[in-house]
Structure 1
Amino acid sequence: MKHFYRLLNYECSRLLSQVLIIGLGMLVLTVLFIKIELTKYTPYSPHERFEQLFISSGGPIIFLFCFILLLIVFSQSLRAPFIGGKSIYTFLTLPVKREYLYFSKLAAFAICTILLLAVQFITYMLGYSLMESHISSYSNGSFVMNNGLFLSIIRSNFMRIIWPFSFISFINLFSVLSACLTGLFYASLVFKNKKRWGRIPVAVLPPFLIRMVAEQWFIAESTLLLPSLILLVFSLFFITHSLWLFKKGAIA
């Protein structure tokens, strides 16, 4: 396992600075747009709940954009060993199990994704504190928001998707993220290996993911257990075939 930890540390060190920049950009942009949205509120104007204000200010769109940027960073990380100095040949000759090479990258991607989700949660809390401060400024603090943060998180469809509060919603989130990460890794291997039939599940996955996330927003999470299991099957296929490609050296 010592070799695995070294590889994981190496992969995380390569990605961390870029992930932090994306997370910081997401935080700044979201807080800025919430601040702009709050300027429309006066003591006598109708006020939206914070979860609605967060949507109106474009918070979910900013997160989606940053998540796509994160996937692009992952994609560049996967392509890097195959270009320039062709360091993939060096990796494949290291005295470690090739499974370690695969799972160290996958684990680094998962850690960076969790970091982005954590930054999004912090951003949501900062945005709420801005609204709380803005409302408390009315009539010298006569208006106070009590327990609003917890209730807004519970009511927010967006926050329930990225921060699950039940076992089924956790399975939904886990299946979506695992399919994204393993599918991205598998796509880079398949396109490098030029296996045309392997591109079929890669092409099928994105529309399925988009529909899954859209349904999570509008439909009860308990009805999405079967699609989540299908995504987990996708992930299992991506992992097993990717490991086979690594062991056979078919990616060099």
Structure 2
Amino acid sequence: MKGLYRLVNIEFAKWLMFIAVLCAAAVILPQIAIQDRLKNYNEFTVNAPFEELYASSGGAMLFLVFLALICAYFLVTVYADYWGSKSVYTYLTLPVKREALYFSKVIVFAACLLLLLAAQLIGIRLGYAIYANKVASYGEGMFVVHNGYFLAMIRSEFFRLLLPLSFSRMLSTFALLAVTVTGFYYGALCERSRKFYGFAAIIAAAWIAISVIGYRMNEKLHYMEPKTLYVSSALLLVLSGFFIWHGLRIVRKGAVA
């Protein structure tokens, strides 16, 4: 455990500045966009609900950009071990189990994704506060919507994707997070070890994940045919388990060197 703890500290040190800037951007940039959209709002115009305002201000697209950046940076940290000083060879000779090397990267990547998710949710809450203050200025507060934030979280598919409100959706979001973390690292390990057949499982996981996200972002269109998502979540978790199992085998054999 001490070896894992040290490796986690080393990995997190690589991420610290990047994730701090990214989380700050995830909190601040949506507020700037929302403020800009609110310039045209007044008590004599039709005011869109907060979730529609957030979508039209590009909040969801910003999250996708941040997510892509964090995944790309993870791959940079993996491949950086093969550049310059080639520290991967040092790691493989350390007096710790090679599983610690694997799990240190997975733990830090997952933690950074969770930090981004938390920053995004904080940004959403702050954005609603700005929106609510704007609406409260109309007609001496006559148009204030009570429980407006809660209603926005219920109505928005994007918000429910980030912060699910039922067990099946919570499990689905967890499965998407797990397959993202394990899948990206597994892909890098397969490329480094030249085990390209592993990309077949990655493609399958990506197809399932995209299908799930597509469904959850358009649940209103499938109102008459609701799904529990348990099957897709189970498949994603099984694939995540496979990525971990095979990834550990690759690392134990030192094939990534």
Is residue 2:10 matched to residue 1:14?
no
Residue 196 of structure 2: aligned partner: 196
Aligned to 2:212: 212
Question: Retained in 2: the 8 A contact 1:98–1:246?
Answer: yes
Is 1:230 equivalent to 2:230 in the alignment?
no
Mapped to 2, the partners of 1:100 and 1:210 lie a distance apart of: 31
TM-fit CA distance, 1:209: 1.8
1:117 aligns with 2:117: yes
- Identity rate, percent: 38
Using the TM superposition, give the Cα deviation of residue 80 of structure 1 relative to its aligned residue in structure 2, in angstroms.
0.9
> 1:149 and 2:153 equivalent?
no
Q: TM-score, normalised by structure 2?
A: 0.93
CA RMSD of aligned residues (A): 1.5
Q: Given the alignment, which residue of 241, 251, 254 partners 1:246? A: 251
Matched, 1:164 2:164: yes
Q: Scaled by the length of structure 1, what TM-score is found?
A: 0.95
Gaps of 5+ in 1: none
CA distance in 2, matches of 1:152, 1:112: 26
Deviations for 1:113-168, whole angstroms, at most 9, x for unmatched residues?
11001101110011101111111222344433322112211222111111122221
d(CA) in 2 for partners of 1:164, 1:222 = 14
Contact 2:168 / 2:228 at 8 angstroms: preserved in 1?
Answer: no
How far apart, CA to CA, are the structure 2 residues paired with 1:184 and 1:201? 12
What is the letter of the counterpart of residue 61 of structure 1? M
Kept after mapping to 1: 8 A contact 2:183/2:240: yes
Give the whole-Å Cα distance in 1 for the aligned partners of 2:230 and 2:11. 33
Alignment of 1:96-111 (within 5 A): 96-111=96-111
Quote how far apart the aligned CAs of 1:213 are. Answer: 0.7
Residue equivalent to 1:55: 55
Inter-partner Cα distance in structure 1 for 2:139 and 2:234: 53
Distance 2:21 2:213 in 1: 26
Tell me, yes or no, if the aligned pair for 2:26 and 2:116 is still in contact at 8 Å.
no
Deviation at 1:104, TM superposition (A): 1.2
In 1, the alpha carbon distance for the partners of 2:172 and 2:143 equals 38
Residue in structure 1 matched with residue 40 of structure 2 by the alignment: 40
CA distance in 2, matches of 1:164, 1:250: 39
**Unpaired stretches in structure 2, ≥5 consecutive residues:** none
Residue 82 of structure 1 aligns to a residue whose secondary structure is: coil
Inter-partner Cα distance in structure 2 for 1:197 and 1:121 = 38
- Residue identity matched to 1:22: L
Structure 1 runs of 4+ with >6 Å offset? none
Rounded Cα–Cα distance in structure 2 between residues aligned with 1:18 and 1:76: 12
> Relative to structure 2, which stretch is displaced further, 200-209 or 79-88?
200-209
Structure 1 match to 2:75? 75
Q: Which amino acid aligns with 1:240?
A: W
CA distance in 2, matches of 1:241, 1:125: 40
Amino acid at match of 1:153: M
CA distance in 1, matches of 2:143, 2:164: 31
Q: C-alpha deviations, 1:27-63, integer Å up to 9, x for none? A: 2221111111111211111111111111111111111
Name whichever of 38-47 and 204-213 sits farther off: 204-213
2:228 aligned counterpart, secondary structure? helix
Aligned to 1:27: 27
Distance 2:130 2:251 in 1: 49
Secondary structure of 1:34's counterpart equals: helix
Q: Distance in 1 between matches of 2:140 and 2:228?
A: 48
In structure 1, what residue type is equivalent to 2:79? R
Q: Kindly indicate whether the alpha-carbon contact (under 8 Å) linking 1:168 and 1:222 is maintained by their aligned counterparts in 2.
A: no
